[in-house]
């Protein structure tokens, strides 16, 4: 494992246009020895992406706006300062309840950025 200090300033990071949001890689797996990644999500109000599951665990932390996270059979209304962790294999999706929302996503391993790169 070859970790180094990594600084990601405002406005920096690889950016992906996902179907439901703009996703910016703030800390990539290459900076954490492949243990986790940190993404900034900027999403407008729109239809939710279809419910899906991933083979990695993830967490959301809301910075601005409100989102409704569907995880399994439960819906969770998250506003600024709220967070949720979603275990690997859990069917999930989110929808934005305000005109827009900004939140952080933490994902285990490098799989989420690899998935986003494949979408691009």
Residue 8: is it exposed, middle or buried by C-beta count within 10 angstroms (0-12/13-18/19+)?
A: middle
Residue 49 is predicted with a pLDDT of 81
Count helices and strands in the chain by DSSP H and E runs: 1, 9
Residue 2 is predicted with a pLDDT of 59
To which residue do tokens 């949720």 refer?
A: 84
Query: Taking the domains of the chain in order of start, what are their residue ranges?
Result: 14-119
Cα angle, residue 70 at apex, residues 64 and 74 outer, rounded to 5°: 120
Contact 60, 69 (CB under 8 A): yes
Residues of the chain with pLDDT under 50: none
Residue 48 is predicted with a pLDDT of 80
pLDDT in tens, 67-94: 999 999 999 999 999 999 999 999 999 9
Fold designation for 14-119: Jelly Rolls (2.60.120)
How far, in Å, CA of 67 to CA of 75, rounded?
10
């Amino acid at each position: 494992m070859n970790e180094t200090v990594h600084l990601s300033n405002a406005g920096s990071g690889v950016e992906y246009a996902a179907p439901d949001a703009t996703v910016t890689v703030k800390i990539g797996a290459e900076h954490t020895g492949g243990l986790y990644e940190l993404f900034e999500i900027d999403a407008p109000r729109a239809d939710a992406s279809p419910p899906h599951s991933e083979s990695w665990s993830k967490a959301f932390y809301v910075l601005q706006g409100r989102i409704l996270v569907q995880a399994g059979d439960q819906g969770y209304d998250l506003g600024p300062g709220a967070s949720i962790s979603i275990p690997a294999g859990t069917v999930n999706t989110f929808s934005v309840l305000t005109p827009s929302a900004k939140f952080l996503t933490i994902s285990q391993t490098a799989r989420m950025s690899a998935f986003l790169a494949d979408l691009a």
